[in-house]
Amino acid sequence: MQKISEVMTRDVMTISPQETLERAAQMMDELNVGSLPVWDGTKLVGMITDRDITVRSTAAGQAPGDAFVRDVMSDQVRSCFDDQTVDEVLQQMSDVQIRRIPVLDRNTQNLVGIVALGDLAEDDAGDVQGTLRDISTPAQPDRPQLNS
């Protein structure tokens, strides 16, 4: 069985929850990524995506230089361990409908990488097609819809 450590991206850049959204967007642009793990110096506390910045922050009327990562990040972050199998991680991604997942060292709990669905597709690892189908199933809105 192939381990997630064999396909993950290493040397992942993180951002602090105290950084501004402007800095998060700049880092994403520089790194050509759509998400950053949020690390408080001792542990993984969340993930911030370009969508969080665009939708959550803009919808709240926040200025990117005045709002902070902690204000819009997803703090219910899912992670996996570097010694898990690709199939286990694909199932986890499928279960919670996520396309990328931070990878932690099981012993130290330090961030050692990140795996995106695209990484797994490139390596032809596991049931990527089934996972993509499950991830792409429309989700219910997380708030009530406004009546027109």
Q: Choose between 103 and 138: higher pLDDT.
A: 103
User: Percent of the chain having pLDDT more than 70?
Assistant: 82
Contacts of 127 (CB under 8 A, 6+ apart): 87, 90
Written as six digits, the tokens of 70 are 């902690």
DSSP code, position 104: E
pTM assigned to the model: 0.79
Q: Do the Cβ atoms of 101 and 92 come closer than 8 Å?
A: yes
Q: Which H or E run contains 124?
A: none
pLDDT in the model for residue 28 = 96
pLDDT at 19 over 60: yes
Task: Give helix then strand counts, H and E, for the chain.
Answer: 7, 5
**pLDDT band at residue 136, thresholds of 50, 70 and 90?**
very low
pLDDT at 139 over 60: no
